Structure 1
């Protein structure tokens, strides 16, 4: 846990373009509400606020609890090299919403080398999808290896894109060396409750112990 453990836990969501990060976010939101977790959202985009506006207009969450960061450069710069803008935005949300327990920080789509600075987040998810190829875990990119939780999304598409899902799972198991990974279908929410369970167990419960 980093310096923000006494305040809201900060959880990053990263991964390549099209892997399903925003769809995961949209599936997380109603489930977090059902569990009565006090949370807010930050999205990162290169030069637009499109993802934030999509979430704000979804009707899933109070639009004031969703903020956008325009990175102005490759998305990884604002979550790894210089996360100042995200840190400032998270601080603003904590001041505006006292008692905030969790801030979800979604990165813009990036490559397999994208990682989060631990100055920014306490825990981070890396989302890949089977349509990107079953060799992704074997490539052992920093995102796959270093994230706290690897999410293999769109697993239902495996038969249609020629992916050996069992091999992909075995490769992820070897590459991750004991760190967790989960399969999800963010189109219908399958597997998303297990994501929240891990966030709760790994971050929120530990935060309560510190307080």
Structure 2
């Protein structure tokens, strides 16, 4: 898009070169004179095209990969309530704080992290694939028998994204948020159960009988 504008004599960006413009609020703006700018739609309309597509690749510096950690990281905190007579566990609140480099789409990232925390809760208290040891078949291979949380099982959730500028991971400084919300959530629930009951459970899902049979 910058090439279309900077090579067009009718554009106020003519002659600036690709490195001489910046993108902001749907416009390209000259670095040396911000009073000279043009909207994306104006550039495309004058060039007679409806869209511009470009492809590129990026990768971290191999030397930097050996010296620096490249992954997103975070911490999850869970609050649980356990019925002392029945052993029933309810997660009443969860808070997660995550650093994932530059956040390009905050709403999408927040939704991804919410989903991960719910999945971690589900891993800790609900989900279990039961295998028939004689045949090797999964015995609960449908949503009628495979237990997953519903809305009533999901507590209030808070997601905090920690601002992080990582110049080593890639040119944009972005990291993945696919699983970071899941990994700490199950452990946070288990730790909260231990704090509430004194019972250290070491396998998931956490069962009521494991809490009630402990001395």
Taking structure 1 as the reference length, the TM-score comes to: 0.21
Work out which structure has the larger RCO, using CA pairs closer than 8 Å and 6 or more positions apart in sequence.
1
Taking structure 2 as the reference length, the TM-score comes to: 0.20
Question: Quick check: which has more Rg, 1 or 2?
Answer: 2
